[in-house]
Structure 1
């Protein structure tokens, strides 16, 4: 079943309410909020590489509150254990049975702050539940509820005492972006108290059942074969680029299509256009590239490679069938 124009308008209207609600806390960051919402509605996860104090915690809390969900924040440290994230089983002497005490991953939105400061074993525990949607403790499987969004953060400035995420683990994140500092006008509004007190709790605009319906609806957005061909050519171009040692995987191509479907619905369309793919190419594909060391030394970045590939890869010229 393909999404209808009426369903696309319904989807876009609800999404706009969420974005507007979150923007009342995170001023001037509509694109980032839309990316976060795209990750959630595409059943993926978000990686934020940004300096402290840009609103990462506010984004996670505001998203959860806007959909009547729960949120948990985990500060990753070198001594953090996998059980501190997933939960543990505890023996109850009165009943003589083991009971499961769920960890912070059992929330709608989980903020994994400075994920690269934890040991690889602890990182893997989080990445496993991100991929599988459940945790297994002492042989018992405990599923997490949908929607489930992990917003992981990394500080690109401080690298001392960190454990860099391997490329295979970076590939598990659907989208990577940065919030960045607000512009001058937004900064003035923040200083004037336009965002309200720090303890302000946002009123939800939709509920979790509606979010689940939106997730199902996003899968039905039409993708013309020429769009699939365009995505394939973009991914192949990353692999053939002279400055790239390892290009985007098939998982990356699938991720780009999934995100483009949701992004189109956010814009009120029931079909994907090339501009959806162009807008998402960098946040979806850039972190999946491994650059040649000499190219990195010369100042080449993953973002610049994607920008070049998008410019050099011709978009489809045929009319998209709907």
Structure 2
């Protein structure tokens, strides 16, 4: 058994993202080969958009391959967003799982079912609640996530109130933004990111309302698109985060990635997985996570508001000559005190 015990795979099967089923299957095979000894993967996440079903035959093909042929039924998850979510569409997504798994319902985000995502496309609180209610009518909703940005933060209060009334556990994250090395410098990216966020006073109100710290900077991932602010790595403590780069290729988290640009037809090999999973930063990240640094004030740092992995990613990038972290950062290049 390897030190990581199990690895996870995120497969985004989504119109417009460019990933092919062939790529997804090859990535899944490589991860299973790396795991060895018949160990199951921890997550295989598939997204199903509510607004289109043009790729659903492919989605079902991949689910059947992962669950039946590769015997990974316990790891498969199917997610969807809420925009355009009708009761019939929610039921159709639910039936995808019922076809393979029978029992489909579970109380948390960690289980199979629809994790509805409230994103910038939701124009009003009414649209958001309609999607939630339709998913509930179809008995297809197991969890929900609200991606906060400056265009929707005013709905957070009503969102949480509605979730409480409907007995659904809400989950809050920040909207992601992208940074391209070729097009922007770090200062420009920071301004763009800060411009996307709600005012800090509003974030503080939200934090008081929810009683939780809103993660502002979980991690970066590096690849063809430069650096991407992400919010998904809490699914993959020890895993491989696989995502489309928009051209059919696959990217991984900075903590598991080398800095060599990947080809558009890149599929991770067993050897590449083995090399990247052995990277010392992965052990450092796991160690720091155990200390639960979320919400710790990083007072001397001029870049981060709250440390939740961002400085660890900066340490990784500095080690690979991408850019240097703030010299006053109390994590700095050593990765922690």
| TM-score, structure 2 normalization | 0.28
| TM-score, structure 1 normalization | 0.29
Higher relative contact order (CA 8 A, sep 6+): 1
User: Higher helix fraction: Structure 1 or Structure 2?
Assistant: 1
